Each structure stands twice: as structure tokens, then as C-alpha cells.
Amino acid sequence: MSRQEKSDVELIKLVLSGECEAYSVLVQRYEKLVFSFLLSRMNSIQDIEDVVQDAFVKAYKHLASFDCERKFSAWLLTIARNIMIDSRRKLSRDLPSTDLVIDILLTDSAKEESEQPADILIRRERFRKILMLIRELPEEFKTPFLLRVVNEMSYQDIADSIGIPLQTVKNRIFKARTLLREKREKKDEMPN
């Protein structure tokens, strides 16, 4: 069995037995999860990068104390959340999202090659708007929704990852979508 096929707990055991490189599989498996979690909460892409790094490093340092009965993803998100709160406190960077907007505008669009420059700009602006709307959602709705859409996780996997009941996941995603629609319609109705 390759490392990629191993479960989280098996990989953790490998790391703890000295196979440091097994940790890279966990990083590959969950980095996007942590990234999207932070994307809806932090304003600076640089801060997001720092928190992602710090979260994985901290998790690695304390791997021996990880409770194998828990989900590694849930534990990792808890660490990331705590680091994010600490960094906000220390840096007081919860300012308007200038950096993030720039990053989004610099992002290569998935259809960049086939689309006209005007379409690319429209798409980037739409992405920015979606992201801003998600950031306005209540905290408890953000993570299930992003895990569902960005990480394409099943309801059950989301429930397991963040440790909430299955039906709660379904309700929160539905509520997130409803709120996003309402917010979007309101903004569309507003004159520029």
C-alpha cells in the first residue's frame, strides 16, 4: 500500500516512527482544506500563508499528543483557527481586504486561455464578490459550505471533519446558500 492510500492515523504512526516524509501526504491531503477555511476569514493572503504553515508545523510538533479517535482534519482546523485568532490579535490586521483583492485579480483564471480579457475580468470580479459574500456569512455556515463547494466533500465527510451531526451539515449548507442568494440579490438591486 502506498502512502497515499494510507489512513490519517497510519500516516501519523509512520511519522512518529521516524518517517517524516509521510507527513507530506497529510499536508497534501489537508492544505487546501485549511487554505479555504482561512480564505473566508482572513484578509491578507500573506497572513493566510503564514497561518497555513504555522498550523501544519504546530500539528507536526504535537503529533504525539494527537488523539487518534479524533479526525486529524478537525484537529488541524482547530489549530489553524487558534493561530488565526492569535495572529489577528498580535498584528491587528483585520483591515479591508486590499491584499486579497490584488491576489484574486492576479489569479490565473481556469479558462483564461480560451476567454477574452473582458470575460476574464468579469469572472475575477465575480469570484471576488462571491468570496466577499461568503465572508459575510455566519461563522458556523462558512466551513461546511466551503468544504462542500471548494473541496467537493460529501456531507458525511464534512460532518466527520468538523465534528458536527450530518443533518446539521445539510442544514448549514442549505442555509448558507439561501443567505448567499439573498445577499447577492440585495447587492444586485443596489445602485452602483
Partner 1 sequence: MKCPTKEKLILYVEALISEDESLGNEYSAKEFENHLKTCKTCSAFVNSIVEDDKILKEDTGKLFERHSQASAIMEKVRGIPLSKESHSTLPHEFVRLFFKWFFPSLAIFLIAIMSFMLFSSKEDKIRKTVTLVSLRAVDSDSYYNGEPFLGPVFDKVEINELSAFDLNGKFRMTLESDSLSELDIVGSMTVKVDTNSFLSFEGRDINIELITGRELPLSVNGASKLLNKEHNIKIELNPERSQVSSDIRKIDDISVDANVKTSTKALIPTIDNTLPEKLPSYKNETEEEKEKFGAKLKFRLRSLPEAIYIKPEEINPESVDVSNDSSYHNDKSALTEESYEPFDGKAFKYKD
Stretch that binds partner 1, among 27-35, 72-80, 88-96, 135-143 (CB under 8 A): 27-35
The C-alpha torsion from 181 through 156 and 1 to 59, rounded to 10°, is: 80
Stretch that binds partner 1, among 10-18, 75-83, 88-96, 136-144 (CB under 8 A): 10-18
Site string for partner 1, 34-73 (x = CB under 8 A): -xx--x-----x--xx--xx--xx--xxxxxxxxxx----
Site string for partner 1, 87-106 (x = CB under 8 A): ----------------xx-x
Cβ atoms within 10 Å of 38's Cβ, excluding its own = 22
Q: Choose among 126, 137, 123: nearest CA to 178.
A: 137
Residue 5, phi then psi, degrees to nearest 5: -90, -10
| Residue 12 near residue 65 (C-beta atoms within 8 A) | no
Stretch that binds partner 1, among 72-80, 84-92, 136-144, 175-183 (CB under 8 A): 175-183
Q: Which residues contact 21 (CB under 8 A, 6 or more apart)?
A: 3
Q: From its phi and psi, is residue 18 left (phi > 0), alpha (psi between -120 and 50) or beta?
A: left
Q: Which residues bind partner 1 (CB under 8 A)?
A: 9, 12-13, 15-16, 20-21, 23-24, 27-28, 31-32, 35-36, 39, 45, 48-49, 52-53, 56-57, 60-69, 103-104, 106-110, 123-124, 126-127, 130-131, 134, 146, 148-150, 152, 154-155, 170, 173-174, 177-178, 180-181
